[in-house]
């Protein structure tokens, strides 16, 4: 059989981005307006700028003869597969995205998507987190996904409430100290 009719595969046909957990079945893909704009911007950059550049390089490299030892051709084809996989992932996530503006809850003391919450554990240690979409949460910035155990425990609680969080070390009591939302029209991150 000719190689032209075989599927090139490096075992990387999975469309999910590495490190991102899949959305729970039957749930919506909540995302902030800023997070949606970032994903959309990445999609357009890959589609309109990076992919055409790589296609041009691969086309040029293919004209140079022996493709089996042509680094530009081999790397370009691999990069095209990576870009196409990311484009498929972004398309799926943007299609099911439900943009939720946390600013609509500005002034509320109840915890919903987009809240910045300060809580204390039973030892009195305080921590502040922001509940974000699964595709935009950055734990290094104190952001957690709305499907994370801590976010699920805190959602719908109010300032002063105590909630329980099941941790590997057992059940932990958390007290909600403060709930904040961005002001309407304010840009976060």
Per residue in 103-140, pLDDT (tens digit) is 999 888 999 999 999 999 989 899 999 999 999 999 99
Going along the chain from its start, the domains and CATH numbers come out as 28-99 (1.10.287.180), 102-180 (3.10.50.30)
Please report the pLDDT score of residue 160 as a whole number. 93
What pLDDT is attached to residue 29? 86
pLDDT score of 69: 76
pLDDT of 21 reads 61
| Separation between Cα atoms, residue 72 and residue 69, nearest integer Å | 9
Cα 35 from Cα 182, distance rounded (Å) = 14
Q: How confident is the model at residue 185 (pLDDT cuts 50, 70, 90)?
A: confident
% pLDDT > 70, the chain: 86
Q: How far apart are CA 174 and CA 189, in angstroms?
A: 27
**Predicted pLDDT of residue 169:** 87
Q: What are the DSSP calls for 128-173, one per residue?
A: EEEEE-TTT--GGGTEEETTSHHHHHHTT-BTT-EEEEEETTEEEE
Q: With a cut of 50, say whether residue 10 has pLDDT above it.
A: no
> Which tokens in the block code for residue 33?
């307006």
In this prediction, residue 109 carries a pLDDT of 92
The answer on pLDDT for 97 being more than 80 is: yes
Of 3-7, 24-28, 75-79, 85-89, give the lowest mean pLDDT range: 3-7
> How many residues belong to the chain?
189
Return the beta strands (E) in 9-151 as ranges: 29-31, 97-99, 116-121, 126-132, 143-145
What is the pLDDT at residue 9? 46
Query: d(Cα 95, Cα 90) in Å, to the nearest integer?
Result: 8
Mean pLDDT over all residues of the chain? 86
Q: What is the pLDDT of residue 31?
A: 94
Position 70 confidence tier, pLDDT thresholds 50, 70, 90:
confident
Residue pair 163/157 in contact (Cβ under 8 Å)? The answer is yes
**DSSP bridge pairs for 143:** 130
| The pLDDT value given to residue 17 | 53
27 band by pLDDT with thresholds 50, 70 and 90:
confident
The overall pTM is greater than 0.85: no
């Amino acid at each position: 059989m000719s190689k032209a009719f075989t599927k090139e595969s490096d075992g990387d046909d999975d469309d999910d981005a590495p490190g991102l957990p899949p959305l729970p079945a039957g749930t919506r893909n909540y995302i902030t307006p800023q997070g949606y704009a970032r994903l959309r911007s990445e999609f357009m950059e890959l589609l309109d700028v990076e992919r055409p550049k790589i296609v041009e390089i691969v086309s040029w490299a293919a004209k140079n003869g022996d493709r089996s030892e042509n680094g530009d051709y081999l790397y370009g084809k691999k990069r095209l597969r990576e870009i196409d996989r990311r484009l498929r992932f972004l398309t799926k996530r943007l299609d099911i995205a439900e943009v939720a503006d946390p600013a609509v809850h500005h002034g509320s003391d109840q915890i919903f998507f987009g809240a910045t919450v300060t809580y204390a554990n039973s030892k009195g240690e305080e921590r502040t987190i922001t509940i974000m979409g699964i595709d935009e949460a950055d734990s290094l910035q104190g952001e957690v996904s709305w499907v994370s155990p801590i976010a699920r425990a805190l959602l719908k609680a109010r300032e002063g409430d105590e909630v329980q969080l099941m941790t590997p070390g057992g059940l932990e009591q958390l007290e909600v100290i403060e709930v904040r939302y961005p002001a309407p029209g304010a840009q976060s991150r």
